[in-house]
Structure 1
Amino acid sequence: MKFQVSIEKQSDGTYIAYNTNVDGLSLIGVGNTVNEAKADFFNSMKEVAETYDEGEKIPQCLKADPVFKFDLASLFEYYSVLNVSAFAKFVGINDSLMRQYKRGNTYISESQLKKIEDGIHTIGKEFASLRLV
């Protein structure tokens, strides 16, 4: 079992990473950047695993690579190579609205989130299949 970990930008501008799918085991990581929050989360995994006595079975999720989910602010901070305005145009969302989504200034509907996620997956598939000459 893998940790599903959400990464979100907090109101103070810092980032938090926390697991969402393992009952009885809650870990967090925080930092000024997404990378710092992820590193702190990995450190929390390591520290919790070290608390188990020899012979005790360490939960498998502490040995596996987490699966990260991002809010939009965290996504664009972590993947800074993505230009918010260009990406908005690519997925067919007004660039001003996309910047508001990124800042967390406005509500994002499920259909808009799906449109954004589908756009990310499309780009990923295209990058994965392209070859340079």
Structure 2
Amino acid sequence: MMKNAVEVYVEKAEDGTYWGSTQNIPGGVSAYGQSLEELKLNLLKAFTDYLEVSEDLEEDWLEEVKAMDGFEYNLDIPSFFKLLPIKISAIAKKTGINPSLMRQYATGKANASEERAKQIEKAIHELGEDLLSVSL
């Protein structure tokens, strides 16, 4: 997690559209795209417009928001598995969670507790670190 970043909650809709909305700034900013990359570009444009309007209105919180360091994108478990083609059973094995239960989390048929979600997040981050250590 980045400190002092604009938090963006991302969802992938059934039609494949990606939606993002900020969570920790006054008023909020939302955008969408046909891909995650397009969502990020559209959100950056919307955020730039948001800052310009806030500057014109001389909002008292503007400097605090301008000082934020980039965006941090947050997904729920089903959106994560829709977004990335990661084998659910691999994450289940890494976390020690029953593969059937992990599939239920991934499809949204079951909701993970906050503790379980953190366990899954940790396994995903470890997998990312493992992948970053590979050279081809």
1:67 to 63, 67, 72: 72
CA RMSD, 1 decimal: 3.0
The match for 1:100 is 104
> How much does 1:27 deviate?
0.6
The match for 1:118 is 122
- 2:8 maps to a residue whose letter is V
After superposition, residues 1-80 of structure 1 pair within 5 angstroms as 1-10=4-13, 14-22=17-25, 24-51=26-53, 52-53=55-56, 59=63, 61-62=65-66, 64-80=69-85
2:90 to 86, 92, 100: 86
Cα distance per residue 1:5-53 (max 9 Å; x no partner): 111245666432111112x231112234433433332221122233334
Q: Give unmatched runs, 5+ long, in structure 2.
A: none
Equivalent residue of 1:100, what SS? helix
For the 8 Å contact 1:45–1:62, the answer to whether it is kept is no
How many residues matched?
Answer: 129
Q: Residue 72 and residue 35 in structure 1: after superposition, are their counterparts in 2 closer, same or farther (change >3 A)?
A: farther
> How much does 1:113 deviate?
0.5
Which TM-score applies when normalising by structure 1?
0.73
Q: Give unmatched runs, 5+ long, in structure 1.
A: none
Q: What percentage of residue pairs aligned between the two structures are identical?
A: 30
Which TM-score applies when normalising by structure 2?
0.72
